[in-house]
Structure formats: structure tokens, C-alpha cells
Amino acid sequence: MVDPIKVYPPKPAKVYYFGTCLIDLFYPDAGIAGVELLERQGIEVIFPQGQTCCGQPAYTSGYHDEARAVARAQLSLFPEDWPIVVPSGSCGGMMRRHYPDLFRDTPDQALAESVAARVFELTDFLLNVCHIRLEDKGEPVTVALHTSCSARREMGVAGVGPALLGQLRNVTLVEQARAEECCGFGGTFAVRHPEISAAMVSEKVDTLVEAGANTFVTTDCGCLMNIAGYAEKNGRPLNGEHILSFLNRRTRDRS
């Protein structure tokens, strides 16, 4: 069976934008950057005002009835047959991979499957649907990349970040050791298992610093908050930025 995530549609005239809780509350600049990158590709961006949480925190904590109630409120927000882009592999994975199971054998099953089939992680959409070509307008910089577990394993987009950063002539991307390992955030995992989470993020910060970069980019705000927060708290020379903010900042006109 062909993975439906890898069956990309033609470039559309419009997309729905699901912004995610963490972008809304903590990193609105990343959300705006995603909108600007899409608009520069000639795509009209529709942001449904009623959107809230995708339901993942409740779902991964085992509260499936509560997750269904939260997720159900999102299903009616995307009535037209346009792609739904999500600036997070984690939320994208929840909507694309888990909505069909969450709503199986319910009256909302068909709608949930329709929504899930149209969900794309945003950097993947830019690269493989828009076929974006980036012109670097920034100064030379060395960065590392952290791809979230959900982006890597659920959305299958581990190669997208390197491909996009590779288009930027003044960006040197360094490879961290054990790049596929989790940063320790894992949504509610960091709350339920703080000691284990702290050990994991400590190792992740070590590998990023040892790679030779003082800046890292990532596709997920949870990872960004966890890694950058730990580095700042512990005096480590490591700054973080969402990859959408990074790409937009380096490619937009500066006039």
C-alpha cells in the first residue's frame, strides 16, 4: 500500500492553516512566518477562527473521550476540499495519523478520515507541493537541525528540513550525533516523567553544542521550548528558532 502522506496534490490556490496551541501562545512569529512563506508562493491562506487544540495531549494521556470532544470541534472547520497545513509534525501527526482511529465507528468517521487525508506538515508542503526555491539573503551562519519524533516517524519528513536548509547558500548545516533521538519533551511525557525528560534534553543539548553550532532550528515548538529553555536555564551557548521563522527571515526582502 502506498503511504498516502507521500501522494502529494498539485499546488492549490488556497489552503487551510491549523496554527497549533504552542504557536498561538508562545511562538506567533513562527505562525506568521508560515503564512508569509505560503503567500509568497501565491497561495491564499485561510485561518479558521474557531480552531483550538488538536486533542493530542488528552489522546496521548489515554483520555480518548476527552480527546474526541476536543478534536470533534476542529472537524467542521475545513469544509472545502483544500489541503490543511500544520506548522508542527506533532499536531500534524495527531490529525493525520490518529483522527481516523479516534473517530472509528462513530458518526464522524467519514469526516475525520476526509480531514486527516488533507493534512500536511507545512515544511513538507512547501518543499513537495509548492516546490519552493529559496534565495538566501542572510549572512553566513552555522546551524544544527532537530527534527521532532512525530515529524520523523509519523509524518515521515525527516529529509525535508535538510533539503530546505540546503537551498540557503550562506547556511552551513552541521550534523548532530544521534540526530534521531528524542529531546525528552513528548508533550505530557515531560510533565509525568520530569527526571527522565531532563536527562534526555541534557543529552540533546550536549550533542547540538558538540556539533559546532550555537543555533538550532526545529519544526516543532514543543522541542524548541524544551531544548532552548534547558540551554538558557543551564547557561549553555545554544539559541533556538522555529525553522519557518528562520527560513522566512533569511529569504524575505529587506527593503
Kindly tell me if the per-residue pLDDT of 17 is higher than 50: yes
How far apart CA 237 and CA 213 sit, in angstroms, is 9
41-84 residue pLDDT tens = 999 999 999 999 999 999 999 999 999 999 999 999 999 999 99
- Section 116-124 average pLDDT: 97
Q: Which helix (H) or strand (E) holds 222?
A: helix 221-233
The predicted model scores a pTM of: 0.95
* 84 within 8 A of 95, measured Cβ to Cβ: yes
- Domains of the chain (ranges, CATH numbers): 4-128 (3.40.50), 141-251 (3.40.50.1860)
Q: Which residues pair with 84 in a beta bridge?
A: 16, 119
pLDDT at 192: 87
Helix intervals (H) in 76-193: 89-93, 99-102, 109-117, 122-128, 149-153, 160-165, 189-192
144-182 residue pLDDT tens = 999 999 999 999 999 999 999 999 999 999 999 999 999
Q: Which helix (H) or strand (E) holds 228?
A: helix 221-233
- Section 101-125 average pLDDT: 97
4 confidence band (pLDDT: 50, 70, 90): low
Which residue type does 224 have? Answer: L
Kindly tell me if the per-residue pLDDT of 2 is higher than 60: no
Kindly tell me if the per-residue pLDDT of 1 is higher than 50: no
117 confidence band (pLDDT: 50, 70, 90): very high
Q: Which helix (H) or strand (E) holds 25?
A: helix 21-25
Can you read off the three cell numbers belonging to residue 31? Answer: 505562525
> Residue 9 carries which DSSP code?
P
How far apart CA 162 and CA 152 sit, in angstroms, is 12
Would you say the C-alpha torsion 79, 130, 161, 2 has a positive or negative sign?
positive
Query: Which long-range CB contacts under 8 A does 9-12 form with residues at least 24 apart?
Result: 9/83, 9/129, 10/129, 11/41, 11/43, 11/129, 11/130, 11/131, 12/43, 12/82, 12/83, 12/129
Residue 42 Cα distances to 119, 130, 237, angstroms? 19, 9, 38
Kindly tell me if the per-residue pLDDT of 254 is higher than 80: no
- Section 23-33 average pLDDT: 97
208-228 residue pLDDT tens = 999 999 999 999 999 999 999
* 241 within 8 A of 227, measured Cβ to Cβ: no
